Structures are given as C-alpha cells and as structure tokens.
Amino acid sequence: MKTLDAYRRLFRIEHAFMLSFAVGLALLISSGASVSPFPPYNIIAAALLVPFLIEMASFALNDYLDVKTDKENRRGDRPVASGEIGPKSALAASIACYIAGLLTAFLLPPSAFCIAVLFAILSIAYNWKLKDLPLVGNAYIAASMAIPFLFGSLVAIGSLPPSLLAIAAVAFIAGLGREIIKSAEDVEGDVKHRKANTLPALIGRKNSARIAAALYFLLVPLSLLPFAYGLRTNTLSLGMILLTALSFAFLGYSVAKEQGKPCLEAARKASLLALGIGLLGYAASLI
C-alpha cells in the first residue's frame, strides 16, 4: 500500500483524473452543441486515456529531474526526494507512460493526435528547461489545463464551440495563477539548485503573489463567461459557479494580504479544489 501511495503521488493522479474529466466534459458539451454523432466508445476511451497517461509521464519526469530541488524545498510529498521511489524507477515509469500515451493517440483524429504529440514534447521541454524561464513555464502548465477542452471538442466534432473556448480560458487563468504561486513557494530551491530565472526570482515572491491574486480576482467575472456564450444554465450549475467565483475572490484576497509560504501553499491547494467545483458546475449544465 505504501508503494501504491508513493506512485500515486509521483503521478499526481488527482491531476490526471481532472484532465480526463475535462476531456469528457468537452466531449459532452461539444456533442450537445452539434448535430455530429457521438464518437465510438473506443475513441472516447482513447481520448480519456491519452491526457491521463501523458500527465503521469510528465510528473514522473519532473520528480526525476527535480530531486535535488525538492529536497532543498523540503517536499516530503515528493516520493523520489523522500527516497520512497528510486530515480531510475521514476524515469522508467515516465518513459513507459509517454510511449503508452502516444501509441493510444494513434486512434484519435489527426488534429487531436497532433495536440497529444505537441504537449508530450512540450512537457519534456518544460521539465528540462521551460520551467526555469519567467512566465513561460507557468504559461505552459496553464495551457495544459486548458487544452483538454479543445482536445475533447476536436475529438468529438472537429471544431471549437465558443462556450468551450470560454471554459478553456477559465482553466488557463486559474492554472496560470496557481503556477505563479507554486513558483513563489519554491523560489529558494529553484534558484539555488537550478539557477532558475522564474518570475519570483526576478520580481520577488510578494510581487509574484500579487499578480496571482489579480488573476484570481479576474476569474470572478470570467467564470460566468461560458454561460454568455451559449452554455446552458440551471440552478445547480449557476450555484456551483458562483461558489467557484467566491472561492477565487477569497483566495485572491488571501494571497494579496499574506505572501508567506504556508499561506501560498494553502491557496495553491485550495485553487485546485475551486477549479474542480467550477468544472462540476459546468458539467451540471448538461442535466
């Protein structure tokens, strides 16, 4: 059980499930907005599995490359840094997941296959170098949170409805704010061990956290945008989205007021929950 839990943390399984959920949501919303037939079950299964596997591969590679930094930042939740999983085992798991994800992507339409290949390549580039550049690495992770909605729509109908573009924009802004906070949390270890040139390394933790707070405040009106672009609404979906908007407003206030590492860590973790509630709210529009 301890080994299984270590691999769960290595792969960040909760992120993988969220990506697959986002793809599934996009499949349903785009199919509902189109007269195109729903994709066959094998295509649906492949569309859900590809981002799941590539996400697992990316996080395993991240822990393999970042073991010294994670030790410096006292990341006891990172199983390679804590010694629960050996570096070679993490690298082998990453390679296996990349291969499985890309082989599965062959089943998908060409546009979706190209997205899968592109983000697999970008995830390697991110772990190797992009995350050390100001905002570039943060923007990549934010894009990886937004792209499942576009990916799922291209699998289902081969086009991008405005409502899904709006949901993707919400995911991107939420992801960008979350990743800036993560960079601010880890700035000491990133600079010491990787000579990283992240945004907090350039402008400081406090200023970076304030930028993240501004992005969270932006999500308050932005979270309602998909409804303006045709996503159906009901009492449940609207209530959950309003809860999401209030959550991000509170997180923005908290981060703007206090930039200590414990506060930033709590805000980062809570933001993923807030985004998850928002995605469930958009899914509730299908009821």
HSE value, Cβ hemisphere, 13 Å, CA-based, for 173: 23
State the Cα–Cα distance between residues 59 and 218, nearest whole angstrom: 28
DSSP 38: P
Among candidates 145, 150, 162, which has minimal Cα distance to 115?
150
φ/ψ region of 161 (left if φ > 0, alpha if ψ in -120 to 50, else beta) reads beta
Structure tokens at 266: 């709590």
Residues 6+ apart with CB under 8 A from 160: 30, 150, 153, 154
Q: Which residues of the chain have pLDDT under 70?
A: 1, 33-36
Output the pLDDT for position 33. Answer: 66
Is residue 197 within 8 Å of 248, Cβ to Cβ? no
pLDDT digits (tens, 9 = 90+) for 40-60: 999 999 999 999 999 999 999
Among candidates 56, 148, 59, 163, which has minimal Cα distance to 99?
56
DSSP 234: -
DSSP 131: G
| CATH code assigned to 161-287 | 1.20.120
List C-alpha distances in Å: 266 to 138, 181, 261, 263.
Answer: 18, 10, 9, 5
For the chain, the domains span 161-287
Element containing residue 240 per DSSP (H, E): helix 235-257
Is residue 239 within 8 Å of 145, Cβ to Cβ? no
State the Cα–Cα distance between residues 188 and 16, nearest whole angstrom: 28
State the Cα–Cα distance between residues 250 and 159, nearest whole angstrom: 35
pLDDT digits (tens, 9 = 90+) for 251-285: 999 999 988 888 998 999 999 899 999 999 999 99
Neighbour-count burial of 35, counting CB atoms closer than 10 A to its CB (0-12 exposed, 13-18 middle, 19+ buried): exposed
pTM: predicted TM-score of the whole model, two decimal places: 0.88
Output the pLDDT for position 243. Answer: 97
